[in-house]
């Protein structure tokens, strides 16, 4: 980071010198003072750039930080070799200790294998439990769908019966109203008919007036009946809509009830299966402890018997093991050092390339902003200049806008 910031400062200083020497766009000047007054010193437009912010917010800053982190890790790994493997220390009873260690390793392997077998058994039980829950969920869902379908059929039939009963009542009311209206208009219409028959050939004008009155009364009677029938039909439709809404609400409530029952039964069965799994795990843990304990006692007896007659052979074996471990450690260290150096060189090359790329981008954008804004000098943030313009955000936006 320090090297990159110093490079940016140098590039800004070089760019500022180029601007001062005439490379930048000329700045507009105010009208010249009278010839008699002394010439005023030129005022330069100065800006600052916060290199720390640009380094932190550059679009490729995360990539650069990751490279530096990996370089630091690689350097630490190169400077701090791993500890050598523990070597057995000769003692009064090396063979006994080796035999005990072998017995301990054998016990560890046996415990790991046994633990793995029990774990696989428990995982199989858990898979069976999940499969059972899935089947139960599908079964309960199918049953709920069947129950909901039956309830829908029942509600639909009940709705049809209610609407049909209401329709029959409406038709009966309409017929009764028709009879009532017919009775009201029967005598007036009968009188007009008799009059029409009487004056049919006597007075043509009177006959036409009576005929118009007769037709008017018929239309009035039919209109009353039609209006009443339409009102009854509207009431029937409103009744049907209200009953349909009640049916939908009842079905929705029943559906929610079925869903709650399904969830409750699934949760209950899941709790039962979890309890069974816990009990199985506890039982296998007890069995595991017992079998490991039995195996440990058997291995200790065998180790004690082996240690009695193999002291010289154990010492020679110990020497060969130590030498082989040392050679293996040295070879592994050599290979590890070579790999780490190659990796460090590659990472440093990537870092240098990336820093050069970022530096070039910053130089281009700073120079472009300076030319666009008519700046004479661009300084970094650590230089104190209260009258300078901060162009850090502008440069960052330009850099980020190209990604």
pLDDT digits (tens, 9 = 90+) for 382-400: 555 456 777 777 778 877 7
Could you give the CA distance from residue 268 to residue 274 in angstroms, rounded to a whole number? 10
Q: How many residues does the chain have?
A: 403
Calculate mean pLDDT across residues 105-126. 89
The share of the chain scoring above pLDDT 70, in percent, equals: 81
Model confidence pLDDT, tens digit, residues 35-67:
444 444 567 788 888 777 777 778 887 888 898
pLDDT band for position 175 (cuts 50, 70, 90)? very high
Two tokens, residue 153: 């059929």
130 to 136, 137, 284: CA distances (angstroms): 10, 10, 20
Tell which phi-psi region holds residue 80, choosing left (phi > 0), alpha (psi between -120 and 50) or beta: beta
Task: Please say if the pLDDT value at position 378 is more than 90.
Answer: no
**Sign of the dihedral through C-alpha 159, 165, 166, 170:** positive
Q: Tell me the β-bridge partners of 390.
A: 48
- Render the burial of 47-65: b for 16+ CB within 10 Å, e for the rest: bbbbbebbbeebeebeebe
User: Average model confidence (pLDDT) for the chain?
Assistant: 79
Pairing of strands 46-49, 389-390: parallel
Q: Which residue has the higher pLDDT, 276 or 392?
A: 276
pLDDT recorded at residue 89: 52
Domain ranges, ordered by start, for the chain: 2-90+332-401, 94-307
Taking phi over 0 as left and psi of -120 to 50 as alpha, with beta for the rest, 22 belongs to left
């Amino acid at each position: 980071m320090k090297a990159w910031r110093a490079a940016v400062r140098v590039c800004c200083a070089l760019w500022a010198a180029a601007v001062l020497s005439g490379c930048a766009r000329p700045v507009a000047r105010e009208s010249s003072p009278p010839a008699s007054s002394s010439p005023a010193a030129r005022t330069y437009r100065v800006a600052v750039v916060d290199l720390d912010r640009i380094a932190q917010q550059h679009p490729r800053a995360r990539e650069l930080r990751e490279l530096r982190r990996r370089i630091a890790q690689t350097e630490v790994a190169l400077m701090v070799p791993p500890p050598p493997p523990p070597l057995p220390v000769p003692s009064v009873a090396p063979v006994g200790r080796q035999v005990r260690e072998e017995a301990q390793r054998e016990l560890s392997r046996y415990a790991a294998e046994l633990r793995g077998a029990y774990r696989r058994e428990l995982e199989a039980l858990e898979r069976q439990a999940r499969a059972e829950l899935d089947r139960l969920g599908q079964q309960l869902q199918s049953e709920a769908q069947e129950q909901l379908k039956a309830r829908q059929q029942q509600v639909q039939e009940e709705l049809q019966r209610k609407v049909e009963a209401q329709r029959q009542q409406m038709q009966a009311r309409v017929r009764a109203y028709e009879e009532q209206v017919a009775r009201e208009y029967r005598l007036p219409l009968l009188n007009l008919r008799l009059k029409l028959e009487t004056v049919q050939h006597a007075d043509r004008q009177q006959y036409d007036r009576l005929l118009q009155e007769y037709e008017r009364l018929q239309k009035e009677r039919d209109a009353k009946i039609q209006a009443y029938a339409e009102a009854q039909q509207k009431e029937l439709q409103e009744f049907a809509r209200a009953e349909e809404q009640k049916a939908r609400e009842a079905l929705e409530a029943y559906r929610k009830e079925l869903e709650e029952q399904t969830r409750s039964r699934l949760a209950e069965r899941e709790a039962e299966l979890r309890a069974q799994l816990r009990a199985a795990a506890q039982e296998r843990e007890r069995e595991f402890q017992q079998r490991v304990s039995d195996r440990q006692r058997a291995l200790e007896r065998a180790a004690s018997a082996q240690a009695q007659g193999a002291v010289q052979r154990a010492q020679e074996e110990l020497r060969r093991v130590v030498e082989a471990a040392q050679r293996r450690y040295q070879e592994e260290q050599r290979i590890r050092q070579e790999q780490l150096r190659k990796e460090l060189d590659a990472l440093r090359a990537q870092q240098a390339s990336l820093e050069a790329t970022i530096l070039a981008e910053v130089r281009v954008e700073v120079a472009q902003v300076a030319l666009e804004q008519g700046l004479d000098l661009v300084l970094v943030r650590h230089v104190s200049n209260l009258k300078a313009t901060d162009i850090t955000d502008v440069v960052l936006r330009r850099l980020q806008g190209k990604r």
